[in-house]
Each structure stands twice: as C-alpha cells, then as structure tokens.
C-alpha cells in the first residue's frame, strides 16, 4: 500500500534548481515518498521511491568495486524499463550515463561508442548480440552488463546489484554542480549526431522547468512513459519531470497505439507525452472510442511540429483533456510553454494561428531572434532562434569547434528559424539548414508541409529541396496517403497551388508507403534526400 506523500513535495515546495547535485533530489524524493510506487513496468515489476534509491546506490557501489571512476562513461542500449531509469542514478558517483538509440545500425552505434569510449556497457536481451559484434573496437570497455539475459562474457545485472551494498555511494572525487552526468547524442536528423554533455545543474534546472513551470505535475499524477528514455524528450518528461514531481510512472517498452489506449484506461493514467505521429496513430485506432480515458487530464506534445488539422481533431477527440506544448532541444532543455490556457484561448477567441506557435519562454528562459550578424530582429520578422537557459548543455563532447559555434556568450544558437510576435509567442519556421532556395526565393518547408498536410488525401508529408539545373533547388514533397484514399501527385500539386505561391508549391510529389522516422517521431529528411538521389 502506498504511503501518503508529505505536504512539502505535494505542494511542489522543493526547488530542484537549488539542490546542488542530482543525488540530493533522489534522496529527498525517497525520504518524502518512501514505499510509494515510482516506476512500474507495464508488464510487471514495480519500484518504490525508496527502492529506487537503494537499487541506484547498489548499482553505483557495484561499478565502483569494478574500478569505475568519476567521469567514466557508462553506455546503455535497451528498451524502456525500470533498469533504464536506474542508470540515470549513476550521477550519484559522477559517472556519465550515455543513452544509446536502439534504432541505429550497428555501424552507427559503433561510431558513437568509439566516440564516448565507455568503461561499461549495459544492454538488454534485445541488444546483447549487437554489442558483441562491436567488442573488437571497444578497447576502453572493461565491463559488459546484461539486463534480463544470461550471456557468455556478460555480467548479470541483478547479480551485479546483489553483490553490492545499498549504502550511500562514496565517489572517488568531489562532485560539483558543473560536473557532466549525462552524455546524450542528438538525433542527427540534419547531420552527424553530436554528444551533448549535460550537468547536475542543467538536469535539475530542467526538472524544475518540466515538472513545475510547464507541466504542473503533482504526486497524485500517474504518467505513461511511451517515449524512449534514450531521447531527450523521454528523459525530460518521464524521468526528470514525472519522477522529480513524485509521480508514479508506468513504463512501456515502446509505442503501440492499441496497447497505449488500453494502458491509459487500465492504469488510470493522468498525463502522457506523445509526438504528433503518435497522436495521429491513436486517433486512427478503432478502439479509441471503446476505452475509458476519463482519468487522462493532460497530453503533452513536442519533438516536432503538428499539423493544425491533426491538433484540432485531437482536441475534439480528447475533449476535457488539457493540451500543452513545449519547444526545446537536447542542448538547451525545455524552453517554451504553449499552455492549456493558450489552447483554450485559441479555440474560444478564434485565434487558431496561436496553435501553430510554441508558446512563450518558461520562467528562467530567454529567447531572442537574430539576423546573420547576431543583430536583434524586430517582432514578427524571421531570424535564427537563440536561447539562454539554466538547463543548457556544458559542451559537445570532444568537439571544441562545434561547441564554440553553438555557444556564444552563454547563448545557444539553435539553428532554428523563427519569429516572435508582439506578445512574445515563438513561431518556428524551419531548420536553418533545411531552408530551400529556389529561383532566388527562400522557401520554408514547414509552410509547404502545412498546406500539403491539410490535403484530405495526405496522411503524412515531408518537404525538402533537391538540386535542379534550372532552379538551383526544386521543392519536392514526399507523402504517405491516407488508408483507402487515392490521389495522384498531380492532384496533390494542383490543390497545393490554390494556397501557395507558384515558387513555393512542390514541383514534384513522390508517394511512399511510409517515411523514415527516428524514435522521437521526427521524419528523417536526410534519409529521404539520400534515397531520392538514388532514384
């Protein structure tokens, strides 16, 4: 039976940003909530806040006994599970956890592992074989730990924990708030992934922004973790948002629309983080009208822009449920907040344009729009989005040149193009590197995508530029059609011309069965461009 939460944390009186180290938050939560469930795998095992602390302590002590030192990297390649959440607790000893994207190819994983040079690699049963194939190139790795499987050359995760005591870890060196405790690789949708070094200070600041300023979570909330924990969105929401607020988090190993709907109902989930492609999948599932979602009070959506038509359908389907959106990045954390009140205002006052914004900066964060020379742009004029936030990264791992280019006088240069209106709402236009220059005119793919996505035949779209001997670049749209709907590329182009200037309208539409996406639901334009070039 769950013990009652103490009023201090129930009222969000804890100041995450004032705690100097991540371990302080872990201990405060365990002291406050005791045997209240912190994490539970949807298929079984549950873990209380105090139980989590004890297992985290054991994991730290076990790795210390194997010679792991402050600053050493511990990589994890696994699906969502309670053990995954435990690896983030390696911050107690100053070990640097490196979450790896299990959707990457073996060669891609190999490059990341060589770059971060981990002392320890932890993998679940699905990924032990992939790591075994990379061992010849992992000279820095002295310990391999397997979750849920017995394998030759691997330590058993549970046996490793059982070999250590649950006492408070004693780091081999003093920990300070600026120490790096997580190395998270960017998704690489527009270029090669870079290792983003996050600190105690940054993680705790983002916990405060996520749990308190944006999501307003309380210990009475029950969170569904469907986003992958290796992704920044999954970490900020499921772990440093939900966990930090004293919520119970129900963990799913991956997203499956029917199972998500069933779990939302069975577990009386109150809040969930979804990306637009996930929301679309839920709306298309025939079971959505058969399950009781009465406990659900909040849907948080982020990671990619959402077509207005999809958002309006979601608002209608989940009537009575709040919607909140945030813009952020691995490097800068959660930055803006398009609140539930903003969504209501947009509907009630007929200001649907507001639903296309990312909201306004959350407390403690600042956004500015600059031109190519770093000068401030006036309201409603497009420029590069620069961010100042206490949750920003320390640096890119082993990449001083990229760090200098991205961090200028403590401001993070996002590479995103956008503008702020007179009320301070931020609107993203596109990635700076994705802008198409055709016939001397600038075309922002997101503007074209919004029009094509509204076509009744189109389920999904991605717009990009390809080399053209006449136009320098021509606008191309890759689309997936709605099930059971027929449309020719010519019809889609013709309908687009009714709403777009001729130079913005796609000169070519290519129909695909599916579009390549990363684990966060972002369409991989880089892969589309490469595939298009081979046609």
Q: Residue 490 corresponds to which tokens in the numbers above?
A: 């010519």
How many Å apart are CA 129 and CA 399, to the nearest integer? 30
What is the distance, to the nearest Å, from the Cα of residue 492 to the centroid of all Cα atoms in its chain? 32
pLDDT at 436: 85
Give the H or E element holding residue 453: helix 445-453
In this prediction, residue 509 carries a pLDDT of: 94
Phi and psi torsions of 303, nearest 5°: 80, -30
- pLDDT of the residue at 520: 65
Average pLDDT of every residue of the chain: 89
pLDDT of residue 5: 34
- Residue 456 φ then ψ, to 5°: -65, -15
pLDDT at 504: 87
Assign residue 409 a region: left if phi > 0, alpha if psi is -120 to 50, beta otherwise? left
Q: Which helix (H) or strand (E) holds 460?
A: strand 458-468
Q: What is the mean pLDDT of residues 85-94?
A: 96
User: CA 206 to CA 197: how far, in whole Å?
Assistant: 14
The reported pLDDT for the residue numbered 518 is: 75
Compute the distance between CA of residue 478 and CA of residue 449 in angstroms, rounded to an integer.
10
More confident call, 181 vs 236: 181
- φ/ψ bin of 529: left (φ > 0), alpha (ψ from -120 to 50), beta (otherwise): alpha
Over range 58-80, report the average pLDDT. 98
Q: What number of other Cβ atoms are within 10 A of residue 31's Cβ? A: 14
β-pairing verdict for 248-251 and 222-225 = parallel
Position 303 pLDDT exceeds 70: no
Return the pLDDT at 468.
Answer: 76
What is the token pair recorded at 349? 């006052």
Range among 265-269, 349-353, 482-486, 498-502 rated most confident: 265-269
- pTM of the full predicted structure? 0.82
pLDDT at 400: 95
Distance separating alpha carbons of residues 340 and 241, to the nearest angstrom: 17
Which region holds residue 277: left if phi is over 0, alpha if psi is between -120 and 50, else beta?
Answer: alpha
In this prediction, residue 519 carries a pLDDT of 65
- Distance, CA of 30 to CA of 48 (rounded, Å): 8
Q: 15 or 486: which carries more pLDDT confidence?
A: 486
**Distance in angstroms between the alpha carbons of the first and the last residue of the chain:** 60
Whether 441 has a pLDDT exceeding 80, the answer reads no
Q: Token pair for residue 485?
A: 């709907």
pLDDT of residue 11: 45
Predicted pLDDT of residue 332: 93
Mean pLDDT across the stretch 92-109? 90
Q: Which CATH superfamily is domain 435-533 in?
A: ANL, C-terminal domain (3.30.300.30)
Task: Enumerate the domain spans of the chain.
Answer: 51-199, 435-533
Q: Is the pLDDT of residue 190 over 50?
A: no
Quote the pLDDT of residue 439. 67
129 pLDDT above the threshold of 50: yes
Q: What percent of the chain has pLDDT over 90?
A: 67
Under DSSP, is residue 254 helix (H, G, I), strand (E, B) or coil? coil
The dihedral formed by the CA atoms of 521, 526, 530 and 531, expressed in degrees to the nearest 10: 20
Q: What is the mean pLDDT of residues 109-129?
A: 96
pLDDT for res 103: 78
- The contacts found for 21-25 with CB under 8 angstroms, 24 or more apart, are 21/91, 21/175, 21/177, 21/200, 22/89, 22/91, 22/92, 22/181, 22/200, 22/203, 22/204, 23/89, 23/91, 23/92, 23/169, 23/175, 25/204, 25/207, 25/244
Q: Look at residue 456 and tell me whether its pLDDT is greater than 50.
A: yes
pLDDT tens for 140-172 read 999 999 999 999 999 999 999 999 999 999 999
DSSP state of 236: I
Q: What is the pLDDT at residue 535? A: 52
Half-sphere exposure of 110 (CA within 13 A, CB side): 12
Per-residue pLDDT of 347-373, as tens digits, reads 889 888 898 899 999 999 999 999 988
Say whether pLDDT at 263 is over 70. Answer: yes
Q: Which residues contact 378 (CB under 8 A, 6 or more apart)?
A: none
Name the band, by pLDDT with cuts 50, 70 and 90, for residue 8. Answer: very low
Q: For residue 416, how many C-alpha atoms fall within 13 Å in the half-sphere facing its CB?
A: 24
pLDDT at residue 50 tops 90: yes
The CATH topology of domain 51-199 is: Rossmann fold (3.40.50)
Please report the pLDDT score of residue 348 as a whole number.
Answer: 87
Beta strands in 132-253 (DSSP E): 143-147, 155-156, 180-185, 195-199, 222-225, 248-251
């Amino acid at each position: 039976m769950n013990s009652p939460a103490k009023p201090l944390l129930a009222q969000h009186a804890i100041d995450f940003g004032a705690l100097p180290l991540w371990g302080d938050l872990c201990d405060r939560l365990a002291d406050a909530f005791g045997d209240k469930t912190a994490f539970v795998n949807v298929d079984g095992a549950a873990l209380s806040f105090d139980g989590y602390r004890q297992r985290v302590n054991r994991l730290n002590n076990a790795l210390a006994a194997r010679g792991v030192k402050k600053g050493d990297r511990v990589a994890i390649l696994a699906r969502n599970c309670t053990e995954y959440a435990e690896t983030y607790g390696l911050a107690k000893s100053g070990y640097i956890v490196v979450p790896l994207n299990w959707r990457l190819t073996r060669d891609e994983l190999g490059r990341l592992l060589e770059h971060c040079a981990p002392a320890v690699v932890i993998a679940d049963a699905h990924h032990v074989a992939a790591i075994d194939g990379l061992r010849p190139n992992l000279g820095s790795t002295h310990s391999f730990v397997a979750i849920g499987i017995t394998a030759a050359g691997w330590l058993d995760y549970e046996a490793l924990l059982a070999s250590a005591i649950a006492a408070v870890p004693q780091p081999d060196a003093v920990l300070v708030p600026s120490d790096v405790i997580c190395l998270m690789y960017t998704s690489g949708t527009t270029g090669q992934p870079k290792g983003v070094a996050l600190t105690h200070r940054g993680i705790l600041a983002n916990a405060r922004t996520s749990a308190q300023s944006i999501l307003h979570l309380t210990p009475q909330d029950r969170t569904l973790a469907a986003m992958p924990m290796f992704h920044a969105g999954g970490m900020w929401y499921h772990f440093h948002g939900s966990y930090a607020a004293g919520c119970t988090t129900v963990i799913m190993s991956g997203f499956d629309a029917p199972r998500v709907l069933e779990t939302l109902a069975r577990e009386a989930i109150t809040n969930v983080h979804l990306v637009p492609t996930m929301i679309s999948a839920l709306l298309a599932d025939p079971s959505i009208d058969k399950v009781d979602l009465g406990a659900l009070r909040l849907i948080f959506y982020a990671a990619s822009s959402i077509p207005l038509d999809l958002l309006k359908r979601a608002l209608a389907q989940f009537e009575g449920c709040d919607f909140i959106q945030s813009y952020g990045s691995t490097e800068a954390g959660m930055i803006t907040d398009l609140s539930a009140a903003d969504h209501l205002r947009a509907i009630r006052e007929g200001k649907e344009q507001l639903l296309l914004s990312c909201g306004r900066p959350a407390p403690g964060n600042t956004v500015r729009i600059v031109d190519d020379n770093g000068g401030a742009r006036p309201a409603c004029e497009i420029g590069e989005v620069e961010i100042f936030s206490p949750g920003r990264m320390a640096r890119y791992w082993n990449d001083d040149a990229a760090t200098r280019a991205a961090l200028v006088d403590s401001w993070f240069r996002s590479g995103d193009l956008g503008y702020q209106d007179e009320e301070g709402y931020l609107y993203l236009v596109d990635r700076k590197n994705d802008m198409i220059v055709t016939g001397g005119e600038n075309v922002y793919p997101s503007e074209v995508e919004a029009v094509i996505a509204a076509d009744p035949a189109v389920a999904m779209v991605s717009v990009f530029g390809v080399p053209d001997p006449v136009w320098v670049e021509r606008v191309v749209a890759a689309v997936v059609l709605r099930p059971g709907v027929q449309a020719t590329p010519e019809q889609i182009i013709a309908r687009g011309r009714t709403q777009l200037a001729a130079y913005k309208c796609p000169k070519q539409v290519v129909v695909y069965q599916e579009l390549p996406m990363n684990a966060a639901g972002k369409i991989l334009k880089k892969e589309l461009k490469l595939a298009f070039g081979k046609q």
